[in-house]
Amino acid sequence: LSLSTAISAPPDANYDEAKVPEYTLPDPLVAADGASVDDPAEWISKRRPEILELFKTHVYGRSPDAPKRLQYELTSIDRQALGGKATRKEIAIKLGDAPNAPSMNLLLYLPNDVSKPVPVFLGLNFKGNHTIHSDPGITLSEVWSRPSKGRAGEKKRGSEKSRGTSASRWPVETIIDRGYGLGTIYYGDIDPDFHDGFKNGVHPHHDKHESAERPADAWGSIAAWAWGLSRAMDYFERDDDVDQKKVAVLGHSRLGKTSLWAGATDPRFALVISNDSGCGGAALSRRRFGEKVKRINTSFPHWFCGNFDKYNDNEAALPVDQHMLIALIAPRPVYIASAAEDQWADPRGEFLSGLHADPVYRLLGTDGIATKEMPKVDQPSHSAISYHVRTGKHDLTAFDWGQYLDRADTIFQGSATPA
Ligand code: GCU
């Protein structure tokens, strides 16, 4: 009995490799006019923009430009955080030019005993900044509840007792001890994660639709969260303690889909990490394994753009597949990670996206992916396209972080120099 069949699938999902339909992936190196792309300049000037445009039109939607003026405020600083080893800053970053535009609160830990600037991991969190560590100095985030039983979603200050409740996913001391900074933002600051017709969060502050109807390529929530990550990057460019050339963007699950789209749309991210991102993230849609396009569009109608609905039970018609999302990140290093018991996210489909992005990575002069065979459980494969599938469930664990830190050490070499 293979692991995938041992875990029972929801009624409308397939967990059996033998039932994956035959499919043909669009070739990332054949342009819309049918010409094959065989030099890096052509990829950059012609094919990459085509693919980016296809993802904006059919999958994630079209995001606005950055605000004209970056407005931010340092709202707290403690140079003796975590027993003196770190500086903790909180920065409110405005998500638009208008005075009533929302702000997001960036929580930033930086190691004290290393020379600045430092490389930084940046990732959104699900439950509020104060849940990532029990540090009493973290401001309690205002957290959205989802609408239920006729009640609208609402925002409430997080409770004292929820401090540190997501700490297993954020090994802050380890990150600091290894010479890295960590930046994180509650994703609901950017857009609350429920479907309200795009009335709250950043959308209404940027959408200027002529007609009452929302365009089919208007940005969804994943695009909004990714756009927020780019606004954190705008801030990093102004913070002398942060090495803006060494920022790794990371996310788990829906936020892994988000980190991939952030990495694809914003070349300032030097390393892009997808942890168990699954459907609409690293997993190939055409495999119809685990979560499918129709399922995700039904459960989460606000995540993608309206056009993505056209591919419900119709994946073969997609002009892209997710290997092309990985290719958009090239030649920058990407790390795709899966969990063996997370069949919903299709580990093999996540690996295959990396494999089929390899020709683009090689065209751009990198070592691409190191193996054509799916690596065994707990045996990471490291190269420009890194991949691992670890033992266990859908989660972001110490094992995952250990790999990401090792990989960052290699890529950002010598980053952790003692002061
Ligand atoms: C659901 C959803 C996934 C998503 C996950 C998460 O399981 O179906 O697409 O990745 O939630 O964000 O935890």
Tokens of 192: 């609350």
What spacing in Å lies between the alpha carbon of 267 and ligand 1's midpoint?
A: 26
Nearest CA to ligand 1 atom 8: 296
Quick one: pLDDT band at residue 208, thresholds 50, 70, 90? confident
Quick one: pLDDT band at residue 213, thresholds 50, 70, 90? confident
Tokens of 233: 């990057």
Q: Is the pLDDT of residue 285 over 80?
A: yes
Percent of the chain with pLDDT over 70: 97
CA–CA distance, 95 with 65 (Å, rounded to integer)? 11
Of ligand 1's listed atoms, the one at least distance from the Cα of 279 is: 9
Quick one: pLDDT band at residue 259, thresholds 50, 70, 90? very high
Q: Can you give the pTM of this predicted structure?
A: 0.97
Long-range contacts at 27-33 (CB < 8 A, ≥ 24 apart): 28/323, 28/324, 28/327, 28/356, 28/357, 28/359, 28/360, 29/359, 29/360, 29/363
What spacing in Å lies between the alpha carbon of 118 and ligand 1's midpoint?
A: 32
Tokens of 167: 């700490």
CA–CA distance, 270 with 102 (Å, rounded to integer)? 27
Centre a 10 Å sphere on the Cβ of residue 246 and count the other Cβ atoms it contains.
21
pLDDT at 332: 98
Q: Is the pLDDT of residue 5 over 70?
A: no
Residue whose CB lies within 8 A of the most ligand 1 atoms, among 291, 294, 295, 296, for a mutation test: 291
E strands of 278-409, at which residues? Answer: 334-339, 385-390
CA–CA distance, 31 with 217 (Å, rounded to integer)? 22
Of ligand 1's listed atoms, the one at least distance from the Cα of 295 is: 8
11-25 mean pLDDT = 96
ipTM attached to this prediction: 0.98
Centre a 10 Å sphere on the Cβ of residue 118 and count the other Cβ atoms it contains.
20
187-196 mean pLDDT = 96
pLDDT at 415: 47
Tell me the residue type at 321. D
Is 253 one of the annotated active-site residues of the chain?
yes
pLDDT at 414: 56
23-39 mean pLDDT = 98
Residue 196: half-sphere exposure toward Cβ, Cα within 13 Å: 21
Specify whether the CB–CB gap between 116 and 240 falls below 8 A.
Answer: yes
Q: Is 355 exposed, middle or buried (0-12, 13-18, 19+ CB in 10 A)?
A: buried
309-338 mean pLDDT = 98
Quick one: pLDDT band at residue 3, thresholds 50, 70, 90? low
Q: Characterise 253 by phi-psi region: left (phi > 0), alpha (psi -120 to 50), beta (else).
A: left
Is 394 one of the annotated active-site residues of the chain?
yes
Percent of the chain with pLDDT over 90: 92
Q: Is the pLDDT of residue 367 over 50?
A: yes
307-334 mean pLDDT = 98
What spacing in Å lies between the alpha carbon of 288 and ligand 1's midpoint?
A: 15
Q: Is the pLDDT of residue 2 over 80?
A: no
pLDDT at 115: 95
360-388 mean pLDDT = 98
Average pLDDT, the chain: 96
Of ligand 1's listed atoms, the one at least distance from the Cα of 291 is: 8
pLDDT, tens digit, 9 for 90 and up, residues 70-123: 999 999 999 999 999 999 999 999 999 999 999 999 999 999 999 999 999 999
What is the b/e burial string over 378-417, where b = at least 16 CB atoms within 10 angstroms of the residue's CB? eebbbbbbbbbbbeeebbbbebbbebbbebbbebbeebbe
Specify whether the CB–CB gap between 20 and 288 falls below 8 A.
Answer: yes
Q: Is the peptide bond before 331 cis (omega within 30 degrees of 0)?
A: yes
pLDDT, tens digit, 9 for 90 and up, residues 401-418: 999 999 999 999 854 444
Centre a 10 Å sphere on the Cβ of residue 98 and count the other Cβ atoms it contains.
11
What spacing in Å lies between the alpha carbon of 304 and ligand 1's midpoint?
A: 13
Q: Is the peptide bond before 117 cis (omega within 30 degrees of 0)?
A: yes
CA–CA distance, 39 with 202 (Å, rounded to integer)? 39
CA distances 176 to 49, 120, 151, 167, 297, Å, are 37, 10, 41, 14, 38
Q: Is the pLDDT of residue 27 over 80?
A: yes
Of 257, 143, 146, 121, the C-alpha closest to 196 is: 146
Quick one: pLDDT band at residue 11, thresholds 50, 70, 90? confident
Name the phi and psi angles at 63, rounded to 5. -90, 155
